[in-house]
Structures are given as C-alpha cells and as structure tokens.
C-alpha cells in the first residue's frame, strides 16, 4: 500500500462505509469462494483511523462552532470598515496583495450570502483536501494561500468539468494537463486524480510565477493563459500590476483575482458569517491506496467488498469506464480503510471475476412470440445484447458507426461520454451489439408473452460492461427476462420529411426504420404514407 502519496488521491466525498467482520454475511460468489477479513487486523485499522481522527479534531457541530450564538437563519452583514480591517490582518500574513474594494465585496457577498450552501460544502471539503494541497504547495515553495484557488476553480469538486472541457480539481484542459504529466486516454483521465492534478497545478503555478514575478499576475495567467496577460501588460503601457492591467484582460479573468481574495476572506471568517462545514461521509484518514496487477471491474469489486459501484467510481475518478485496465501500466485502487482488507483477502477472486465479466453478454431484450412447432412447443426469437470495442478507422464518423451497429448517435455519445461528434482514428468506442437466437418453451402463447426463461451463452468477444450492468458474471447462467411483443407506433409522413429527419425526431436510427418497413427507400417517401416506428 502506498500510504504517503496515493492515499492523498482519495480526498473525495460522498460515501460511508461499514467494517465487515466474520459475523457479517459476504456477497455470494459465482465461481470463486470469498473470505472474510481478519478481525484482529481489521480492528487494528479501526484503532489507527480513530487515533488520527481524534488528533485531527474535525468537527461540524454547530453548537460547538457557533461562538456568536446565531440562529440558523441569520445571515450576518458587516460594514466596509470592519471588512477592510479584517482584510488588512490577512494581508500582513501572506505574500499575496489582499486588497479590499467594491469588486472584492461583490464576491464576498456571493460566497457569504447568495451561495452560502456552496461555502458550507466547500468548508467541509477543505478540511479534507487542504492537508494534501498544503503539503504539495510547501514542496514547491508556493504560498499556502494558493490552496484557495482550488475553490475558485472547482469548488473542491474533483470530478468537475467546465463547458470548455477543463476538468478536475484544478480545471486542466487536456493539452495543458499532458504538458504537466497528466495522462489522458480512452481508459483513464488523470486530471481527475486529486493528488496528481495538484502536483501538476503546483508545477504550472510555479512556472507562471517565475515568468511574471508576481502572484496576482500568475493567477491571471492561470485563468486566461500567459499570452493574454502579456497582451494586457503591453496595452497598459508596460504596467505589471493586476489592478492596472485589469481593464485589458478577458472579462472572466477580471473577476478571477477578486474572487480569489474573497474566498481567502470568507474561509478565514466563516464563523462570523454563520457558515459552518458540512460533514463529508469519508475523511482523509479513512482512505487507503493499493497497487493492482490485473484488470479490476468495479461491478465485480462492488460485490466482493459490499460497496456501491458509484462510490468506488467516485473514489477512483481517473478510470473513465468504471474499470482498471490490464494494459501493462502501473495502476492504483483507492478504497476506504475498512474495505481494503476485504479486497486484499479476495484480490484474486476480483481479478478472476473481472475477466469472466469482460466476455459476458448483457441481456437487455426480449423476444417476440412465434408459431407452435410440430411437437407443441412455442418458438420465440430472442436478442441477447453484449458490448463490443470498436476501433475507429480512417474515414469513419459517429454516424457511419451508428448505422453499422444499428444504434443512434445519442446512444453512441452516451455510452462513450462524448459531448460532440468528434472522433479520431485509433480511438476505441464502446458499442452495444445484438445476437439473435430462437428458444422454445412449453408454455402457452399468452404466458410466453409475459415471461420466458432464457439461457445466456458465453460470448467470446472483446467486450466491456454498460454502466448499469447488474448481472452476475459467469461463463453460463440462466435467468428470467421480460419477453413481450415489440411495440410500435405509426407515423404519417409529412411534407419535407426524410428518413433521417424522422429518425432523429423519434430517437431511432434510419436502419431501424428500414428494418421495420421492409423495402422502404429514402426517395420513395410520400406525403400521407404511414410507416412503423419502434416505441422507445
């Protein structure tokens, strides 16, 4: 376990965990027996965590923190003179130029009055992130007040993504992140690794400070780029003071430094504004990190350690497909301390089940009732759905790939978390595929239309799971699926309609419409014609 460095990755919120002992029931395993954690070692972990937490003295009890006796609904306000005096005290203890003016006051009102809910959450999260961030800042000889920049950037949300595509705690663009060592691939995005992104941010901020020799200008350059700061300096006549070049900076950057100053002030005077931290469900000292040697599927890990997939994914946000790949690189898994023991004693079982799941198809669908056979059985056509990795070839587009697999553009985007239609050769896309089978049952037709037993066969293909896949992985299982007659509706062709226009409006593909309307051609549509549309 890599306690010192990678434990810091974790500082993520949103999950509570309960230790599992021999008395607790473990999740069932399909092919590999599972084991309970050693109770004595688990108790040692618990004692160590408790000792850290007791020393840390992190509290969210308002009855303890509310030194001014405010009622819950009170939103205090203060005179400009008092705020200015408080700011002077802060300014004397930092190399940043913490000035107070009307623009700064506007941001104080934002954080302390209008968005108090955000400040409450951030204040709690800061108790978890700031120890790690301060350690990194000290390593690079950067003023510790720079930790407040992460609040301005992401509100301490390590999974935040901006409209422009910047991501993570420090809101790196992909290109800038790669410049500072953050790997971004189809499987992982290290911009969402709290520890690694903080290290990259420190390197970038140090570079900007060495370039401009002023922390305010370094902040402005972090937001808008050093090129825009250089332009503003030239347009101001060579002045190298943020407030002097402020009118020549992009509009967003003009408020960036004032926001940073306001956050400094509000975080240091939160009790005066009746703002108290919201307790996160996990803490800095309750998380640990371990290296993994093979593929880990979060769905299978969830079954073994009894922890929701969403929480595992949140703690390990760098892995985009809810799996740790086995691609020859060193990878790490972040878990609560009281789940780490369960993983370690069942590590090989997790690897085995993850490989089984890799080739296991998912049944999403369903069958239509057919004719009776001579021996009295009822035939039913069943479509089993699996997942295939499609490697983009030169000249392919999302549209052509969607048509190839008879899916919609919206589905392709959702499965692969793509916001637009831009893809590049060599990129791997996750695509849902269907396999048609015929099964037979002795049940009467009217019962078959309600429910049928379907046997899934192992599919040998390079497949990965859908996010909400809940089936237990094994080579061959039998389970019940809903089987009913396909439901359709009819659409009357209007003037100006094309198959593509109709498909887009109804959320289906052109191929699906053609399959339901045999012989239908794009140029043969006539006004008033009725065509079948699959009910979504």
Q: Higher pLDDT residue, 78 or 48?
A: 78
Q: Is 516 found in the same domain as 467?
A: no
Average pLDDT value for residue range 414-426: 81
Q: Is 471 found in the same domain as 406?
A: yes
Q: Higher pLDDT residue, 200 or 15?
A: 200
Q: Is 373 found in the same domain as 431?
A: yes
Percent of the chain scored above 90 by pLDDT?
A: 36
* Domain termination site, one of 319, 352, 385: 352
Q: Higher pLDDT residue, 311 or 510?
A: 311
Q: Is the pLDDT of residue 37 over 80?
A: no
63 in a structural domain:
no
Average pLDDT value for residue range 298-313: 90
Q: Higher pLDDT residue, 437 or 530?
A: 530
| pLDDT at residue 5 in the model | 39
243 in a structural domain:
yes
| pLDDT at residue 100 in the model | 96
Q: What is the 3-state secondary structure (H, E, C) of 497-521?
A: CCHHHHHHHHCCCHHHHHHHCCCCC
Q: Is 127 found in the same domain as 246?
A: yes
* Domain termination site, one of 247, 273, 299: 273
Average pLDDT value for residue range 319-332: 88
| pLDDT at residue 493 in the model | 83
How far apart CA 51 and CA 462 sit, in angstroms, is: 47
Alpha-carbon dihedral of residues 519, 520, 525, 526, nearest 10 degrees? 50
| pLDDT at residue 222 in the model | 96
Q: Is the pLDDT of residue 185 over 80?
A: yes
Q: If pLDDT is split at 50, 70 and 90, which confidence band does 281 have?
A: low
Q: CB–CB of 320/188 below 8 Å?
A: yes
389 in a structural domain:
yes
| pLDDT at residue 432 in the model | 76
The CATH number for 237's domain is: 1.10.530.10
Total count of domains within the chain = 4
Average pLDDT value for residue range 420-429: 83
| pLDDT at residue 385 in the model | 60
Q: Is 203 found in the same domain as 145?
A: yes
* Domain termination site, one of 352, 379, 413: 352
Q: Print the domain residue range for 519.
A: 488-534
Percent of the chain scored above 70 by pLDDT?
A: 73
Q: Is the pLDDT of residue 364 over 80?
A: no
* DSSP state for residue 270 in the 8-state scheme: T
Q: Is 206 found in the same domain as 166?
A: yes
| pLDDT at residue 522 in the model | 56
Average pLDDT value for residue range 266-271: 95
Average pLDDT value for residue range 195-218: 96
Q: Is the pLDDT of residue 26 over 80?
A: no
362 in a structural domain:
no
Specify whether 153 is catalytic: yes
Q: Is 175 found in the same domain as 43?
A: no
* Catalytic member of 127, 145, 153, 190: 153
| pLDDT at residue 32 in the model | 62
How far apart CA 130 and CA 156 sit, in angstroms, is: 10
Of the given ranges (334-343, 465-474, 505-514), which has the lowest mean pLDDT? 465-474
Q: How does pLDDT run across 49-69, given as a tens digit for each residue?
A: 666 656 556 677 777 788 888
Q: If pLDDT is split at 50, 70 and 90, which confidence band does 366 have?
A: very low
Q: Is the pLDDT of residue 48 over 60?
A: yes
Of the given ranges (110-114, 267-271, 481-485), which has the lowest mean pLDDT? 481-485
Average pLDDT value for residue range 100-116: 95
The CATH number for 521's domain is: 3.10.350.10
Q: How does pLDDT run across 96-106, given as a tens digit for each residue?
A: 999 999 999 99
Q: Is 348 found in the same domain as 289?
A: yes
Q: Is 195 found in the same domain as 103?
A: yes
Q: Is 267 found in the same domain as 140?
A: yes
How far apart CA 388 and CA 376 sit, in angstroms, is: 37
255 in a structural domain:
yes
**Average pLDDT of the chain?**
77
Q: Is 471 found in the same domain as 372?
A: yes
| pLDDT at residue 425 in the model | 86
The set of residues, in sequence order, having a beta carbon less than 8 Å from that of 19 and lying 6+ positions away, is: 37, 42, 45, 46, 338
Average pLDDT value for residue range 19-44: 57
67 in a structural domain:
no
360 in a structural domain:
no
Q: What tokens were used for 423?
A: 């893809």
| pLDDT at residue 501 in the model | 77
| pLDDT at residue 270 in the model | 94
How far apart CA 136 and CA 153 sit, in angstroms, is: 17
**Locate tokens 């593929």: which residue?**
295
| pLDDT at residue 38 in the model | 74
Q: How does pLDDT run across 159-175, given as a tens digit for each residue?
A: 888 888 899 999 999 99
Q: What tokens were used for 44?
A: 């040692």
Q: CB–CB of 416/422 below 8 Å?
A: no
User: In this structure, what are the phi and psi dihedrals at residue 517, rounded to the nearest 5 degrees?
Assistant: -125, 80
User: In this structure, what are the phi and psi dihedrals at residue 283, rounded to the nearest 5 degrees?
Assistant: -130, 170
Q: Is 336 found in the same domain as 194?
A: no
Going by C-alpha positions, the residue among 393, 378, 387, 407 that lies closest to residue 485 is 378
64 in a structural domain:
no
């Amino acid at each position: 376990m890599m306690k010192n460095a990678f434990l810091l990755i974790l500082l993520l919120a949103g999950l509570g965990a309960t230790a599992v002992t021999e008395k607790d029931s473990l999740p069932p395993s399909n092919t590999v027996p599972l084991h309970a954690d050693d109770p004595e070692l688990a108790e040692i972990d618990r004692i160590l965590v408790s000792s850290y937490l007791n020393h840390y003295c992190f509290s969210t009890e308002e009855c303890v923190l509310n030194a001014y006796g405010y009622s819950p609904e009170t939103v205090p306000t203060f005179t400009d003179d008092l705020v200015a005096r408080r700011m002077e005290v802060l300014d004397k203890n930092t190399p940043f130029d913490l000035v107070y003016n009307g623009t700064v006051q506007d941001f104080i009102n934002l954080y302390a009055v209008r968005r108090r809910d955000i400040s409450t959450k951030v204040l709690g999260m800061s108790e978890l992130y700031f120890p790690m961030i301060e350690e990194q800042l000290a390593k690079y000889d950067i003023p510790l007040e720079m930790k407040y920049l992460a609040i301005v950037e992401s509100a301490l949300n390590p999974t935040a993504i901006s409209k422009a595509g910047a991501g993570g705690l420090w809101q790196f663009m992909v290109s800038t992140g790669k410049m500072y060592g953050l790997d971004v691939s189809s499987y992982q995005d290290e911009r969402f690794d709290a520890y690694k992104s903080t290290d990259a941010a420190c390197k970038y901020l140090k570079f900007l400070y060495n370039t401009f020799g002023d922390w305010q200008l370094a902040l402005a350059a972090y937001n808008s780029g050093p090129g825009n700061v250089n332009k503003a300096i030239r347009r101001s006549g060579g002045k190298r003071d943020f407030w002097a070049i402020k009118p020549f900076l992009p509009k967003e950057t003009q408020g960036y430094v004032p926001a940073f100053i306001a956050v400094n002030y509000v975080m240091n005077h939160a009790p005066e504004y009746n703002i108290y931290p919201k307790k996160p469900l996990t803490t800095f000292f309750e998380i640990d990190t371990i290296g993994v040697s093979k593929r880990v599927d979060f769905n299978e890990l969830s079954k073994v350690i009894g922890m929701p997939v969403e929480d595992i994914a949140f703690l390990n946000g760098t892995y985009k497909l809810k799996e740790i790949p086995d691609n020859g690189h060193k990878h790490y898994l972040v878990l609560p301390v009281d789940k780490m023991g369960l993983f370690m004693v069942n590590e090989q079982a997790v690897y085995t089940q993850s490989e089984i799941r890799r080739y296991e198809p998912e049944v999403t669908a369903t069958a239509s009732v057919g004719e009776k056979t001579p021996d009295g059985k009822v035939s039913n056509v069943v479509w089993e759905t699996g997942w295939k990795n499609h490697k983009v070839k030169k000249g392919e587009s999302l549209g052509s790939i969607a048509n190839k697999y008879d899916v919609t553009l919206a589905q392709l985007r959702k499965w692969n978390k793509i916001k637009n239609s831009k893809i590049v050769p060599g990129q791997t896309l996750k695509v849902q595929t269907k396999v048609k089978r015929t099964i037979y049952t002795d049940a009467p037709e009217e019962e078959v239309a309600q429910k049928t037993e379907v046997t899934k066969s192992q599919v040998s293909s390079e497949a990965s799971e859908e996010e909400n896949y809940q089936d237990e992985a094994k080579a061959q299982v039998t389970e019940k699926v809903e089987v009913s007659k396909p439901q359709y509706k009819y659409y009357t062709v209007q003037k100006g309609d094309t198959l593509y226009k109709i498909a887009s409006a109804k959320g289906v593909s052109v191929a699906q419409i053609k399959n339901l309307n045999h012989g239908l051609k794009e140029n043969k549509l006539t006004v008033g014609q009725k065509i079948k549309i699959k009910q979504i």
